[in-house]
Amino acid sequence: MREIVFDTETTGLDPKTGDRMVEIGCVELVNRVPTGATFHAYYNPERDMPAAAEAVHGLSSAFLAEKPLFRDTAAEFLEFVGDAPLVAHNAGFDFGFINNELELCGREAISLERMIDTVAIARRRHPGAKLSLDALCNRYGIDRSHRVKHGALLDAELLAQVYVELTGGRQIGLELAADNAPGEQAHEGAKEAILPRASGERREPRPHSASEEELARHKAFLEEIDSPLWAN
Protein backbone atom coordinates (compact mmCIF):
# COMPACT_ATOMS: atom_id res chain seq x y z
CA MET A 1 0.00 0.00 0.00
CA ARG A 2 1.27 3.44 -0.96
CA GLU A 3 1.13 6.24 1.63
CA ILE A 4 2.50 9.78 1.70
CA VAL A 5 3.91 11.21 4.95
CA PHE A 6 4.08 14.99 4.78
CA ASP A 7 4.61 18.18 6.72
CA THR A 8 4.06 21.87 6.04
CA GLU A 9 5.52 25.16 7.23
CA THR A 10 3.35 28.28 7.28
CA THR A 11 3.24 31.96 8.11
CA GLY A 12 1.04 31.30 11.15
CA LEU A 13 -1.63 29.14 12.68
CA ASP A 14 -4.87 29.89 10.81
CA PRO A 15 -5.42 30.06 7.04
CA LYS A 16 -8.83 31.65 7.66
CA THR A 17 -7.10 34.80 8.92
CA GLY A 18 -4.74 35.08 5.96
CA ASP A 19 -1.91 32.75 6.92
CA ARG A 20 -0.35 30.84 4.02
CA MET A 21 1.67 27.70 3.40
CA VAL A 22 5.33 28.40 2.54
CA GLU A 23 6.89 24.91 2.43
CA ILE A 24 5.81 21.31 2.00
CA GLY A 25 7.80 18.09 2.25
CA CYS A 26 6.52 14.61 1.36
CA VAL A 27 7.98 11.12 1.79
CA GLU A 28 6.63 8.10 -0.06
CA LEU A 29 6.08 4.82 1.81
CA VAL A 30 5.06 1.53 0.22
CA ASN A 31 3.98 -1.11 2.71
CA ARG A 32 5.41 1.15 5.47
CA VAL A 33 8.86 1.17 3.85
CA PRO A 34 10.40 4.43 2.52
CA THR A 35 11.00 4.14 -1.22
CA GLY A 36 13.40 7.10 -1.41
CA ALA A 37 10.90 9.14 -3.45
CA THR A 38 10.24 12.60 -1.99
CA PHE A 39 8.60 15.88 -2.92
CA HIS A 40 9.81 19.21 -1.55
CA ALA A 41 8.88 22.77 -2.44
CA TYR A 42 8.97 26.33 -1.11
CA TYR A 43 6.24 28.83 -1.99
CA ASN A 44 5.96 32.59 -2.10
CA PRO A 45 3.12 33.37 0.35
CA GLU A 46 2.44 36.79 -1.20
CA ARG A 47 2.56 38.36 2.26
CA ASP A 48 5.02 39.18 5.04
CA MET A 49 6.57 36.57 7.33
CA PRO A 50 5.81 37.22 11.02
CA ALA A 51 8.89 37.13 13.26
CA ALA A 52 7.38 34.41 15.46
CA ALA A 53 6.88 32.09 12.49
CA GLU A 54 10.35 32.80 11.07
CA ALA A 55 11.85 31.90 14.46
CA VAL A 56 10.28 28.44 14.15
CA HIS A 57 11.31 27.50 10.60
CA GLY A 58 13.87 30.13 9.60
CA LEU A 59 12.17 31.04 6.32
CA SER A 60 12.32 34.78 5.69
CA SER A 61 10.25 36.94 3.37
CA ALA A 62 13.42 37.70 1.38
CA PHE A 63 14.17 33.99 0.88
CA LEU A 64 10.60 33.19 -0.21
CA ALA A 65 10.19 36.21 -2.49
CA GLU A 66 11.84 34.39 -5.42
CA LYS A 67 9.97 31.12 -4.91
CA PRO A 68 7.03 30.09 -7.11
CA LEU A 69 3.41 30.60 -6.16
CA PHE A 70 1.57 27.46 -5.08
CA ARG A 71 -1.03 27.91 -7.83
CA ASP A 72 1.70 27.77 -10.47
CA THR A 73 3.11 24.43 -9.28
CA ALA A 74 0.11 22.79 -7.58
CA ALA A 75 -0.10 20.16 -10.33
CA GLU A 76 3.36 18.82 -9.40
CA PHE A 77 2.33 18.32 -5.78
CA LEU A 78 -0.99 16.69 -6.72
CA GLU A 79 0.70 14.37 -9.20
CA PHE A 80 3.19 13.20 -6.55
CA VAL A 81 0.58 12.44 -3.86
CA GLY A 82 -1.89 10.89 -6.30
CA ASP A 83 -4.76 9.21 -4.48
CA ALA A 84 -2.65 7.84 -1.60
CA PRO A 85 -3.59 8.27 2.07
CA LEU A 86 -1.84 11.31 3.56
CA VAL A 87 -0.10 11.00 6.94
CA ALA A 88 0.71 14.05 9.07
CA HIS A 89 1.29 15.00 12.69
CA ASN A 90 -1.76 16.94 13.88
CA ALA A 91 -3.03 16.35 10.35
CA GLY A 92 -6.03 18.66 10.58
CA PHE A 93 -3.64 21.64 10.71
CA ASP A 94 -1.74 20.61 7.56
CA PHE A 95 -4.88 19.60 5.67
CA GLY A 96 -6.37 22.99 6.50
CA PHE A 97 -3.48 24.84 4.87
CA ILE A 98 -3.23 22.56 1.81
CA ASN A 99 -6.95 22.77 1.13
CA ASN A 100 -6.86 26.53 1.61
CA GLU A 101 -4.16 26.82 -1.04
CA LEU A 102 -6.11 24.53 -3.38
CA GLU A 103 -9.23 26.62 -2.87
CA LEU A 104 -7.35 29.85 -3.59
CA CYS A 105 -6.26 28.48 -6.96
CA GLY A 106 -9.66 27.03 -7.82
CA ARG A 107 -8.81 23.37 -7.33
CA GLU A 108 -10.75 20.65 -5.55
CA ALA A 109 -9.97 20.10 -1.87
CA ILE A 110 -8.35 16.85 -0.72
CA SER A 111 -10.88 14.64 1.04
CA LEU A 112 -10.44 14.35 4.79
CA GLU A 113 -11.13 10.62 4.39
CA ARG A 114 -7.56 10.33 3.16
CA MET A 115 -6.20 11.88 6.37
CA ILE A 116 -4.16 9.82 8.85
CA ASP A 117 -3.25 11.72 12.02
CA THR A 118 -0.22 10.39 13.90
CA VAL A 119 -1.15 12.46 16.97
CA ALA A 120 -4.41 10.49 17.23
CA ILE A 121 -2.54 7.19 16.79
CA ALA A 122 0.06 8.16 19.41
CA ARG A 123 -2.65 9.25 21.86
CA ARG A 124 -4.26 5.80 21.64
CA ARG A 125 -0.94 3.97 21.99
CA HIS A 126 0.59 6.19 24.69
CA PRO A 127 -2.21 7.81 26.69
CA GLY A 128 -1.00 10.59 28.95
CA ALA A 129 2.44 10.79 27.30
CA LYS A 130 3.92 13.74 25.42
CA LEU A 131 2.88 13.57 21.77
CA SER A 132 5.15 16.11 20.05
CA LEU A 133 7.32 14.89 17.18
CA ASP A 134 10.43 15.44 19.33
CA ALA A 135 8.95 13.42 22.20
CA LEU A 136 7.99 10.52 19.91
CA CYS A 137 11.45 10.52 18.31
CA ASN A 138 12.93 10.24 21.82
CA ARG A 139 10.54 7.43 22.74
CA TYR A 140 11.46 5.36 19.69
CA GLY A 141 15.17 6.18 19.63
CA ILE A 142 15.02 8.12 16.34
CA ASP A 143 17.99 10.46 15.81
CA ARG A 144 16.82 14.07 15.53
CA SER A 145 20.12 15.74 16.39
CA HIS A 146 20.17 17.48 12.98
CA ARG A 147 16.78 19.10 13.60
CA VAL A 148 17.86 22.61 14.61
CA LYS A 149 14.74 24.29 13.21
CA HIS A 150 11.51 22.97 11.78
CA GLY A 151 11.79 21.99 8.11
CA ALA A 152 8.99 20.35 6.14
CA LEU A 153 11.02 17.61 4.42
CA LEU A 154 13.18 16.83 7.45
CA ASP A 155 10.12 16.65 9.69
CA ALA A 156 8.33 14.43 7.17
CA GLU A 157 11.34 12.07 7.14
CA LEU A 158 11.35 11.91 10.95
CA LEU A 159 7.59 11.45 11.05
CA ALA A 160 7.81 8.59 8.55
CA GLN A 161 10.05 6.74 11.01
CA VAL A 162 7.70 7.54 13.89
CA TYR A 163 4.69 6.39 11.87
CA VAL A 164 6.33 3.04 11.11
CA GLU A 165 7.00 2.54 14.84
CA LEU A 166 3.46 3.59 15.79
CA THR A 167 1.98 1.07 13.35
CA GLY A 168 4.12 -1.96 14.15
CA GLY A 169 7.74 -0.96 13.78
CA ARG A 170 10.31 -3.51 12.69
CA GLN A 171 7.91 -6.34 13.51
CA ILE A 172 5.26 -5.19 11.04
CA GLY A 173 6.01 -8.08 8.69
CA LEU A 174 5.09 -10.57 11.43
CA GLU A 175 1.68 -9.09 12.19
CA LEU A 176 -1.52 -10.89 11.17
CA ALA A 177 -3.11 -9.33 8.12
CA ALA A 178 -6.39 -11.14 7.78
CA ASP A 179 -7.90 -8.60 5.45
CA ASN A 180 -5.44 -8.88 2.57
CA ALA A 181 -3.78 -11.82 0.90
CA PRO A 182 -0.26 -10.31 0.60
CA GLY A 183 -0.18 -9.83 4.37
CA GLU A 184 -1.28 -13.41 4.92
CA GLN A 185 1.42 -14.70 2.60
CA ALA A 186 4.04 -12.59 4.38
CA HIS A 187 2.90 -13.93 7.73
CA GLU A 188 3.02 -17.54 6.56
CA GLY A 189 6.50 -16.96 5.17
CA ALA A 190 7.62 -15.49 8.48
CA LYS A 191 6.25 -18.48 10.37
CA GLU A 192 8.13 -20.87 8.11
CA ALA A 193 11.35 -18.93 8.67
CA ILE A 194 10.92 -19.00 12.44
CA LEU A 195 9.61 -22.59 12.75
CA PRO A 196 11.59 -24.82 10.36
CA ARG A 197 9.88 -27.90 9.03
CA ALA A 198 10.77 -31.22 10.69
CA SER A 199 12.98 -33.50 8.59
CA GLY A 200 13.58 -37.24 8.66
CA GLU A 201 11.26 -40.16 9.36
CA ARG A 202 8.47 -39.77 11.87
CA ARG A 203 8.28 -42.22 14.78
CA GLU A 204 5.00 -43.80 15.74
CA PRO A 205 3.44 -42.21 18.82
CA ARG A 206 4.49 -43.90 22.06
CA PRO A 207 1.75 -45.58 24.14
CA HIS A 208 1.14 -43.84 27.48
CA SER A 209 -0.25 -46.86 29.39
CA ALA A 210 1.79 -49.86 30.68
CA SER A 211 1.39 -53.21 28.98
CA GLU A 212 0.37 -56.37 30.88
CA GLU A 213 3.97 -57.57 30.81
CA GLU A 214 5.24 -54.25 32.25
CA LEU A 215 2.64 -54.34 35.02
CA ALA A 216 3.68 -57.93 35.95
CA ARG A 217 7.36 -57.00 36.12
CA HIS A 218 6.57 -53.98 38.26
CA LYS A 219 4.55 -56.10 40.70
CA ALA A 220 7.37 -58.64 41.01
CA PHE A 221 9.86 -55.85 41.69
CA LEU A 222 7.73 -54.42 44.49
CA GLU A 223 7.43 -57.82 46.15
CA GLU A 224 11.24 -58.03 46.45
CA ILE A 225 11.43 -54.85 48.58
CA ASP A 226 11.80 -55.46 52.34
CA SER A 227 9.53 -53.44 54.63
CA PRO A 228 8.21 -50.98 52.00
CA LEU A 229 6.95 -47.65 53.37
CA TRP A 230 3.58 -48.03 51.68
CA ALA A 231 2.96 -51.30 53.59
CA ASN A 232 3.04 -49.51 57.05
**Which of 150, 187, 208, 218 is flagged as catalytic?**
150
Residues 194-212: tens digit of each pLDDT: 344 444 555 566 666 777 8
Pick from 35-44, 54-63, 165-174, 191-200: least confident: 191-200
Confidence at residue 226, expressed as pLDDT on a 0 to 100 scale:
80
Among 3.40.50.1400, 3.40.250.10, 3.30.420.10, 3.40.50.620, name the CATH number for the domain at 2-192. 3.30.420.10
Mean pLDDT of 175-201: 42
8-state DSSP, 89: T
Residues 18-54: tens digit of each pLDDT: 999 999 999 999 999 999 999 999 999 999 999 999 9
**What value does the mean pLDDT of the chain take?**
85
Residues 86-102: tens digit of each pLDDT: 999 999 999 999 999 99
Residue pair 222/228 in contact by the 8 Å Cβ criterion: yes
Q: Looking at the DSSP assignment, which residues form a beta bridge with residue 7?
A: 25
Q: What predicted TM-score, i.e. pTM, was given to this entire model?
A: 0.72
Helix ranges (H only) for 10-131 are: 51-57, 61-64, 70-81, 91-104, 118-125
150 part of the active site? yes
